[in-house]
A and B are shown apart, each in its own frame.
Chain A
Amino acid sequence: MAEHRRSPDRPTESPAGEGGRVGRRRVLGYLLAAPTLAVGVSWIADSSDPRKADAAVPSLPQPEEIFDLGDLQNLAAAPTSGLISVELKTDGTAFFAVPRAEVGQGVTTAIAMMVAEELDLPMDKITIGLADARPELLMNQLTGGSNSMRSMYLPVRTAAAIARQRLVETAAAQWDVPTGQLATGNGVVSGPNGRTATYGSLAKAAASTKTIAVSAQLKSQSQFTILGRAHNRVDAHDIVTGRKEFGMDLQVPNAKPTMVARPPTINGTVVSVNNLAEVRAMPGITDVVAITHGVAIRGDTFGQCIDAIQVVDATWGPGTVDKESDATVLAKLRAAQVPMTVPPLLSNTIDAEFVFAFASNSPLEPDCAIADVRPDSAEIWSSLKVPIVAQEDIAKQLGLPIDKVLVHVVQGGGSFGRHLFHDVAAEAAEISQKMGKPVKLSWSRTDNFRQGRTHPMCTSRVRVNYLAGNVLSYEQRHTSVQTDFGHGLGEMITSTAAHLPVGGNLSFAETIFALSQSSPYNFGVTTQLLNEIPLKFNTGSMRNIYSPNVVCAEELVVDRLAAKMGQDPVRFRRNFLKDPRLLAALNKAAEAGQWGKAMPKGTAQGVGVHAEYRGAVATLVEIDCRPETVNRPIQDGVAGPRVTKALIVVDPGFCINPRGLEAQMIGGLQDAIALALTSSLHIKNGMPLEGSWDNYFYTRQWNTPPDVQVVIMPNTSDTPSGAGELAVAPAFAAVACAYARATGTMPTYFPINHGTLGFEPLPLEPSTPQSPTDGLDHTF
């Protein structure tokens, strides 16, 4: 029978870094009162994360080394009373509602692997859903900070292990044999004399009539048959057949297509709509109402909404940054830079300043949400990474009790930070309430670039003093337009704190900065400080928060230091790196990437290293900056230098799914190439000029390296690191360093083509341009 012990057992697994030889670990969960077997596990940090012990002793020199953003999120989870649960159905399938968003990062596949491993159930018998907003989970329902794998690895396995144990105990009782004589595999319990029982046949008998605490043993790494092996995405078949249902594809009765005609500046407002009757009379249009930031139009098709946007005549009120352009923002950033503390050492000093332009975190699926607001209740469908905050904010906005607002998390077509914010869901709710009808709201592509979330413009100043082969001091002063952390850590307590006028967002941002940034080098006196200016752009995190910019600046200066001290960039890093995992990754990259090989003039290698989220990455790229490459003709796009080869070496702690990890590394690389070379927003008079993917130059096939390799280092830990954002920073740095070496010029403004506007901007009004009609002229 189940053991009724409440004490959280001491982990018997050895700490990280001892070659994966681990003992079996007993963990605690609950059998839940339910019609079929259901197991719940609390996310109390104490029982789910063995790193909590070191988290309690922050010490010098830099906090990120021992206590990073993910640890803060784990610790924030401590008071939660909510459980996550694995349920076993009578058809032999297991169901787990993951309290996270799936936006392409593969969280559902990895979770299915964890359940399959500990439950001894085939992957195709496991169903992973996305949980609705669950306020009782408190801070435990935020998808971000590359934290999902780290925070769920032990709890999910625990729930599955307890379920497996309970099935064994149930069969043992039915057959009257000791549990030790039973085995599980492939969804079947087998016992002496060839007796077998499927999980499905035991699901009811194994159910508990009351909720009781139990413990179970997790498998050790050496017993794994699923975790650690390559597995394809669980939704791959649905994707390639067009069956995967995204928010935009959902059919909710009478939720008709809805779009918004918007003002010509960021966060502009509506003074009056001057031709309401004319717009309402257009073909296919059912409703037109003025809302806070535009004129909402509901119709039979999105195309007819776009038609109506063309004729809206409105008088617009000002936005929040109408007088700002790239140059004014940069001047404000420079005025706000925190001074260096160490004086320069005459000739042995490097002073450098790097500028990073605004960038859009817009995913490919345009922002969308379905809302059905009734007088006494509301239902929302949207891809939300912080659904609890969305639910509470929308309830407040609608004047409804929280429990009358049902928030469903739907599959998202990418996120990159965008879905941390629920502004689109809130706008859909506003429109539905004003129209008194269900709506399927989509922002247009142009809305996404111009009114969506941006990674803010920032500067990074670096001063290094060096003498006689040593680096005496390294100071970095990062100054950014405020990054909106209004989403907090996933619930109203921290989300409210981030909005407070004093302390507020900046102190929250400083905390995030301090917990996520740390120099990996032995550079003597080291300080990295953040300051922010409170300009009201719509900002947010973007596949990392600060690291891509901070690390790019640091690695460029490292290359320059190496040159000043007469050392090769890789040898210099070997001499100064503190982190043995980073050093091992760097050595592997240098070897596999043939560092130092002869390269033609105008081409070069570059290297970048970065450790974060308890993972370590070294990236080596080759770039071609020769004129014939830079100036190759590309229609309606930018060419520029081409990264011809990229090698990413990653130490993920424990690798859950090599295939998924490799995918995240490849994706991070493409983001990095875009940030370094091509993609940015140009702000002019309170509005980005970019309005389409042929203006915002995210990496395209003609920019992508023909040769990409990912090397996964042997496991160095029992627990997985974060992966979703891990590759962006070191790859950005590697591309920038390669460019500097190929051209002999250290770039200081990113992306490097920002100074040349490579497109004709779309008009500001109408806010969404009309669709073309010449598609049949471009078939191939």
Chain B
Amino acid sequence: MPTHSFKLNGKQISVEAEDNVRLLWVLRDLLGVTGPKYGCALEVCKSCTSHINGKAFNPCAVPVKDIEPTDEITTIEGLPATVGQDLHPMQQAWLEYDVSQCGYCQPGQIMAAVAKVKQAHAEGHEIGDADLDELRNICRCGTYSRIREAIKAGAKDM
């Protein structure tokens, strides 16, 4: 079986897996990293959202062979370390606004939010309602209003 190597949450790791296995299953089923959630495996619900080289992506839609040894994969577990703190400002905002209900979508929501705010900042503007409307992450509990409030608050500390 092929061996794949990449940087996961700051550590270079290697894992044996067939080439076509999507990264989500490599993370969850083979490496036991369960922060990225399985919600559809169709790149629709976005609950597995993680970062590749700082950008949001969905590991359910990426064969592990497409990940290069130099690629840095960050899951929710590794997000605080990207800012050298116990919690990322977006996670703090999530706590402050008590955003979560069942919590299943929230790791993906937070990872998408961080990337969306970075995208807005890179484009030279603060995050606004039009940006938030572009987020596709499903929250079946419907805590969308608090997600919007928390992203705006968290963005101020990013």
Contacts and interface: CB of A to CB of B under 8 A. Distances in A.
A647 B134 CA distance: 24
B38 A366 contact: yes
A364 B107 contact: no
B24 to A, nearest CB: 7
Nearest to B21: A303
B83 interface: no
Nearest to B33: A242
A241 B20 CA distance: 29
A677 B107 CA distance: 28
B42 A366 contact: no
B115 A780 contact: yes
A671 B135 CA distance: 18
Contact of A240 (B25, B60, B91, B148): B91
B141 interface: yes
Nearest to A237: B95
A364 B104 contact: yes
Contact of B18 (A245, A304, A363, A780): A304
Given A236-B94, A240-B94, A242-B77, A445 B45 contact: yes
B95 A236 contact: yes
B29 A302 contact: yes
B104 A659 contact: no
B144 A670 contact: yes
A663 B144 CA distance: 10
B87 interface: yes
Contact of B140 (A240, A416, A444, A708): A416
Interface residues of B, number: 76
A10 interface: no
Nearest to A103: B102
A663 B139 CA distance: 13
Contacts of A704: 144-145, 148
Contacts of B22: 303, 771, 773
B135 to A, nearest CB: 5
B103 to A, nearest CB: 3
A775 interface: yes
B138 A698 contact: yes
B14 to A, nearest CB: 17
Interface stretch (A143-151, A246-254, A324-332, A337-345): A246-254
Nearest to B142: A670
Contacts of B136: 637, 700-701
A13 interface: no
Contact of A694 (B36, B37, B44, B75): B44
B101 interface: yes
Interface string A613-652: 0000000000000000000000011000000000000000
Interface string B86-118: 010001001100111111111100100001100
Contacts of A771: 22, 41-43, 60-61
Nearest to A232: B98
A669 B142 contact: yes
Contacts of B99: 240
Interface in B1-57: 17-18, 20-22, 24-26, 28-30, 32, 34-45, 47, 52, 55-57
A596 interface: no
Nearest to A244: B103
A122 interface: no
B153 interface: no
Given A412-B102, A705-B145, A306 B37 contact: no
Contact of A366 (B17, B39, B134, B148): B39
Contact of B25 (A302, A366, A706): A302
A706 B148 contact: yes
B145 A104 contact: no
A248 B76 contact: no
A384 to B, nearest CB: 15
A300 interface: yes
A248 B103 CA distance: 13
Contacts of B21: 284, 301, 303-304
Contacts of B116: 780
Contacts of B39: 364-366, 445, 693
Given A246-B104, A364-B104, A775-B59, A693 B138 contact: yes
A414 B98 CA distance: 17
Question: B61, B101, B147 — which one has the most chain A CB atoms within 10 A of its CB?
Answer: B101
Nearest to A305: B25
A430 B59 CA distance: 31
B100 A233 contact: yes
B57 A242 contact: no
A600 B21 CA distance: 53
Interface in A752-780: 769, 771-776, 778-780
A538 to B, nearest CB: 18
B22 to A, nearest CB: 5
A98 interface: no
A61 interface: no
Contacts of B132: 701
B148 A701 contact: yes
B126 interface: no
Given A240-B110, A364-B102, A365-B39, A104 B44 contact: no
Question: B32, B80, B98, B143 — which one has the most chain A CB atoms within 10 A of its CB?
Answer: B98
Contacts of A183: none
A239 B103 contact: yes
Given A104-B102, A239-B100, A779 B37 contact: no
A708 B145 contact: yes
B66 A693 contact: no
A190 interface: no
A450 to B, nearest CB: 13
A228 interface: no
A776 B41 contact: no
B139 A300 contact: no
A215 interface: no
B96 to A, nearest CB: 8
Interface string A283-323: 11000000000000000111110110000000000000000
A237 B86 CA distance: 11
A236 B29 CA distance: 25
Contacts of A668: 142
Contacts of A415: 102
A747 interface: no
Interface string A402-431: 000000000011111000000000000000
Contacts of B63: 773
A245 B102 contact: no
Interface in A656-670: 659, 663, 666-670
Nearest to B94: A240
Contacts of A241: 35, 76-77, 80, 87, 91
A656 B99 CA distance: 18
A693 B138 CA distance: 8
B92 to A, nearest CB: 9
A365 B44 contact: no
A705 B129 CA distance: 10
Interface string A680-704: 0000000000001110001111101
A364 B48 CA distance: 12
A415 B103 CA distance: 12
Given A301-B30, A774-B61, A780 B55 contact: yes
B20 A307 contact: yes
A454 interface: no
A88 B105 CA distance: 34
Nearest to B98: A232
5 contacts: A104-B102, A233-B100, A249-B28, A364-B104, A778-B57
Given A240-B94, A670-B144, A700-B144, 19 more contacts: A232-B95, A233-B100, A239-B103, A240-B87, A240-B107, A241-B80, A241-B91, A242-B76, A301-B25, A303-B25, A366-B38, A414-B101, A415-B102, A444-B41, A666-B144, A699-B144, A778-B43, A778-B58, A778-B61
Which are the 3 A-B pairs with shortest beta-carbon distances? Answer: A104-B102, A242-B35, A670-B142
